[in-house]
Structure 1
């Protein structure tokens, strides 16, 4: 399989305008008739939401730290199916990433430079032009020559102050032989509101996010040479696309057969709406590529039509027209499930639970689950739920409304007591505590939660400290912490993880079939955990 051409949007440092440029470029290219695949380097959940609004298809992540360097190209191939160009937004500065102290000369792991090199794609450097003049040439010379494996293909000048300022900057770029692909004026009205963990997610920002994306699109369409960007796009990678079904078969090492997974995939595809999803037919050679497009919002996430607001709801795991279906669905008691029925995995979505990777639902579906997305702010627990996923997000911003949905809180607590498999990450952990900033939560975990004084951020090399519905004791996992809350009054639950930073750390809680933790993991890097979770859901459904 030959790769779709790409450009990587990078910068000398954070805050240079990468997200504005990448999102606007995706929108402008789409408006010009291109099918655009958007990506974000690293573990960021928020920027892909804006990318998805602009593209009309899921924004995806490329993170060598969380999924392994060997999966970056396959995941890229998977995410570009049916597209003619890809836009990859970088993280931090071009060469910033995880440093191996024993190899100071190596490319930083997880850096934009590493991903650009793996993809063989050219880099467009976005420079915040404020304060720059002729000395910009020296900066560009350094970035262009620092690493021969990274090809700097052009520059976009951001926040240019005047025509004269632009002329001086263009002369500096010409001096080092780098073409200027665009020059954007200062546009304060394009700023998207942020809070303690960065930008407000698109699904929470609603119509304002639509307006911001439209403005970014117009700005880039007006001030960037789109034809030059398309001409620059390239890539030298070849190989098969990531296939969730194949990953599961390999990861489980014969505990389930290829035939059993394939049958699950066929059943799920027949029960879902993939036939109405053009993305599914484009990737039909991959057994479960679009299986996440079930009877919930997933089918909308692959369409290139419809409003940005509808796409945001789909991409951020919010139900669309299915909310009434979930509320009125007939109960399916576990002992009387139809023969061969797929176990239902309920995934929390809506404004409070916006963090998630597209590959998570694809793996769950390929493992034989039926996926139902619900909003804990307003919905009940979907009927027949055999497994519950509570992903990351911002429950602290919605604590009062989460608390007010008492019926759901009680149902989850009762489910946990009966052995319902629950996978809770960060926001999910907070929701399972007794209280969050004084508001009653589900009370599954013996702890309280509160907004804290400092941000906890960084990759972790973790070890599972006990068996759970996700991991066997001793499993080694790479994850990422990103929160500004903390637990207090903690009880005696078994810790989920252990790792070492400046000191040894134990974190999270395992309680029955509940696995709750601050640690975010990428399912594509841990397919065996997904298979283990779906198997636990099957056992619960059939008990």
Structure 2
């Protein structure tokens, strides 16, 4: 039987769906209401929310992103991540119907929470920020309920309710729209997760504070949402085969050691990446560049995204690792770096010496670069062939001078050409995040090159 799911969505960003979704995951897991546990998912490319989901459930937080992985992989990836769980909670992205925006300002129609809900055949619980709403909420809910056939809004969580009277008015509005209010949550500003320049601070950086925050979210939802009713609303998704890493790649018999960076500075990664590397025959060993040396015997290293600008001095002080990375490249090893990894490989970051594998000095800037990119590989390298096309995601506030051998090219919103990253023998580095499940051959190529 396919694990039943419920999708937690909202009319717009800022409605509090992360708090409600994470708290719901924790409350379901805490009550044992689902034999096998709770499988957590996040729609879109977000790396931060899944970290909190993992704390709430004890299972890896996973992403369902039709843009990065392809619409045809959404349900198989769901079935893979939900295997063995009794229920799954899928947190949406932005507003329910918000999808990718093209350069001309028109929605491309893929990547929205509604798309994922429809692909799964899962019901939606809509989280509404109730501040400023009264009887007219009925019209808003009626619009969302009828806007798109195939999307079933099964219930509403009224968030940030100001009083008992306010709750009664809002519940009546839900009834007028033909929707069930499954919870009414009071304003709880103290539960807001601290944020900085790229959004919420990742759970990997907050330690016990993150655990406490998830516990508080769980308590809040357990008190004010009918968790049992939400579980009853969950429905099994469409049956079919699950995505499997061993079906996506061929194993290399040599079993090279691939070092996978993690810890507070490199917390932006996808669970499927490690699974694909292992399926391709690698022995994957995690390490924290803030404190650890390169794992013994590593012939390849992967540096995912994160916040190296916050830890520049500490990363710089690990001189042993920086020298090991330089030596790995000089000896013909393989290094794959995305965003944070690109900055770590640069000559310096905000004045602090880094590995010096990528030419140029990186620095923090006030400008946010954010969005999906349709990119083409400009240079042959160990991981990509010149001319190959991918869709990735860019998300940073730093700048690094252009390379004479860039990894990628694409066009910006004004159709101006841009290049990104740096390619050298054994090195592929760029700002672009590419989901491994969308391009599994890259993991196999990395392992083959590493042997």
Distance between the aligned counterparts of 1:524 and 1:53, measured in 2?
A: 23
Assess if the C-alpha contact under 8 Å between 1:422 and 1:513 holds in 2: yes
Assess if the C-alpha contact under 8 Å between 2:22 and 2:214 holds in 1: yes
Distance between the aligned counterparts of 1:458 and 1:101, measured in 2?
A: 11
CA deviation vs aligned residue, 1:387-412 (integer Å, no higher than 9, x gap): 10000000000000000011111111
- State the partner residue of 2:96: 94
Q: How far off is 1:149 after superposition?
A: 1.5
| Aligned with residue 498 of structure 1, among 409, 421, 440 | 409
- State the partner residue of 2:261: 348
CA deviation vs aligned residue, 1:106-131 (integer Å, no higher than 9, x gap): 88210000000000000000000111
Distance between the aligned counterparts of 1:533 and 1:24, measured in 2?
A: 38
Assess if the C-alpha contact under 8 Å between 1:107 and 1:113 holds in 2: no
Assess if the C-alpha contact under 8 Å between 2:299 and 2:328 holds in 1: no
- State the partner residue of 1:9: 8
User: Is residue 112 from structure 1 mapped to residue 113 from structure 2 by the alignment?
Assistant: yes
Assess if the C-alpha contact under 8 Å between 2:69 and 2:438 holds in 1: yes
Secondary structure (helix, strand or coil) at the match of 2:364 reads strand
Secondary structure (helix, strand or coil) at the match of 1:423 reads strand
- State the partner residue of 1:231: 232
- State the partner residue of 2:332: 419
Distance between the aligned counterparts of 1:149 and 1:416, measured in 2?
A: 52
Assess if the C-alpha contact under 8 Å between 1:248 and 1:528 holds in 2: yes
User: Is residue 435 from structure 1 mapped to residue 434 from structure 2 by the alignment?
Assistant: no
Q: How far off is 1:188 after superposition?
A: 1.3
CA gap of 1:103–1:507, structure 2 versus 1, over 3 A, is: closer
Secondary structure (helix, strand or coil) at the match of 1:91 reads coil
- State the partner residue of 2:210: 209
| Aligned with residue 50 of structure 1, among 36, 49, 52 | 52
- State the partner residue of 1:20: 19
Distance between the aligned counterparts of 1:195 and 1:421, measured in 2?
A: 33
CA deviation vs aligned residue, 1:186-230 (integer Å, no higher than 9, x gap): 111101100010100001011110100000001111111111101
What TM-score, normalized by structure 2, do the two folds share?
Answer: 0.97
Distance between the aligned counterparts of 1:351 and 1:4, measured in 2?
A: 32
Q: How far off is 1:510 after superposition?
A: 0.2
More strand by share: 2
* Unaligned ranges ≥5, structure 1: 250-260, 265-339, 539-543
Q: How far off is 1:468 after superposition?
A: 1.2
Distance between the aligned counterparts of 2:101 and 2:349, measured in 1?
A: 35
CA gap of 1:93–1:32, structure 2 versus 1, over 3 A, is: same
Q: Which moved more, 1:405-414 or 1:36-45?
A: 405-414
| Aligned with residue 516 of structure 1, among 429, 432, 440 | 429
Assess if the C-alpha contact under 8 Å between 1:22 and 1:87 holds in 2: yes
Mapping for residues 19-418 of structure 1, pairs under 5 Å = 19-33=18-32, 34=34, 35-99=37-101, 108-249=109-250, 261=251, 342-418=255-331
Secondary structure (helix, strand or coil) at the match of 1:408 reads helix
Assess if the C-alpha contact under 8 Å between 1:122 and 1:235 holds in 2: no
Secondary structure (helix, strand or coil) at the match of 1:241 reads coil
Q: What is the RMSD computed on CA atoms of the aligned residues?
A: 1.4
Distance between the aligned counterparts of 1:136 and 1:515, measured in 2?
A: 51
Q: Size of the alignment, in residue pairs?
A: 446
Assess if the C-alpha contact under 8 Å between 2:301 and 2:336 holds in 1: yes
Assess if the C-alpha contact under 8 Å between 1:123 and 1:152 holds in 2: yes
CA gap of 1:187–1:527, structure 2 versus 1, over 3 A, is: same
* Unaligned ranges ≥5, structure 2: none
Distance between the aligned counterparts of 1:53 and 1:190, measured in 2?
A: 16
What TM-score, normalized by structure 1, do the two folds share?
Answer: 0.81
Secondary structure (helix, strand or coil) at the match of 1:459 reads strand
Assess if the C-alpha contact under 8 Å between 1:432 and 1:445 holds in 2: yes
